[in-house]
Amino acid sequence: MSSPRHQAHARVLAIAGSPSQRSRSSVLLRHAAGILQRRGLSVGELGLRDIPAEDLIEGNYAGPAANALRARVAAADAVMISSPVYQASFSGGLKAVLDLLDPKALAGKVVLPIATGGSPAHLLALEYGLKPVLSALGARHILAGVYATDTQVRLDEFGAREIDGEVSRRLDDSVERLSELVLPRVAVSSPSYDLGRLALAGAFSV
Ligand SMILES: Cc1cc2nc3c(=O)[nH]c(=O)nc-3n(C[C@H](O)[C@H](O)[C@H](O)COP(=O)(O)O)c2cc1C
């Protein structure tokens, strides 16, 4: 297992693709982010409102918000992306964000898709809608997505939230997989890795 020093270098970007202020898909995303943060990974959040609406509508690739977005994605080891299902696919707002990325922006990154929908009928929206777009952006390591229905993510008017146990377990498993994949890469690429420990582990000889 990696030491906290290594974990601190792993960076995850959590992109919330719902335009809603009280968003179920964002609740799942934040839940996943919380687990990773408790493990010592650094998690940044980005929502649709972090990019000016005009930039999204006009596809302002050269604007400062799009530049900042691309820099944040480039700096991440993993990207978690959440969205509601809208008309059997992911949200148009999220597509407008993804359209501001470079064609290979997700190459070499671990990607975890998360979605919520009104019914199980559009469970495959992640497979048929989001995953081809992620692949086109160079993602080759797309983890099994987590899909939940509205009844499995309960919100009340005071902001309290409750995630169904089964969804929570699936999310835990995907997050576990994400950290398993990200932490060894970070340890290897970290300039501060412990040569003695790696040598003892038989990773190489000194
Ligand atoms: C415009 C619109 C379109 C929707 N289309 C679908 C759909 O095709 N299939 C589905 O299962 N749910 C659909 N829903 C329900 C949402 O996907 C669901 O409530 C989701 O949990 C909302 O996520 P959010 O709270 O993160 O925005 C739709 C909701 C809206 C507002």
List the domains of the chain with CATH numbers.
4-200 (3.40.50.360)
Q: How far is the CA of 119 from the centre of ligand 1 (A)?
A: 9
Mean pLDDT of 138-155: 96
Q: Is 86 in the pocket of ligand 1 (CB under 6 A)?
A: yes
What does the alpha-carbon distance between residue 4 and residue 198 come to, in Å, rounded to a whole number? Answer: 15
Instruction: Work out the percent of the chain whose per-residue pLDDT is above 90.
Output: 78
Which helix (H) or strand (E) covers residue 11, if one does? strand 11-16
Q: How far is the CA of 87 from the centre of ligand 1 (A)?
A: 7
Q: How confident is the model at residue 159 (pLDDT cuts 50, 70, 90)?
A: confident
pTM: 0.88
To test the pocket of ligand 1, the residue of 83, 85, 91, 94 to mutate (highest count of ligand atoms within 8 Å of its CB) is 85
Q: Is the pLDDT of residue 13 over 50?
A: yes
Q: How confident is the model at residue 189 (pLDDT cuts 50, 70, 90)?
A: low
- Residue 123's pLDDT is 87
CA angle, 89 then 112 then 114, to 5°: 40
191 half-sphere exposure, CB direction, 13 A CA radius: 0
Helix residue ranges, H only, the chain: 4-7, 24-38, 53-58, 64-75, 92-98, 125, 131-136, 165-189, 195-200
Q: How far is the CA of 188 from the centre of ligand 1 (A)?
A: 41
Q: Is 119 in the pocket of ligand 1 (CB under 6 A)?
A: yes
State which ligand 1 atom lies nearest to the alpha carbon of 122: 11
Mean pLDDT of 73-101: 97
Mean pLDDT of 194-200: 33
The amino acid present at 100, given as its one-letter code, is L
State which ligand 1 atom lies nearest to the alpha carbon of 89: 8
Q: How confident is the model at residue 126 (pLDDT cuts 50, 70, 90)?
A: confident
Provide the β-strand partners of residue 148. 116
Query: In whole numbers, what is the pLDDT of the chain averaged over residues?
Result: 87
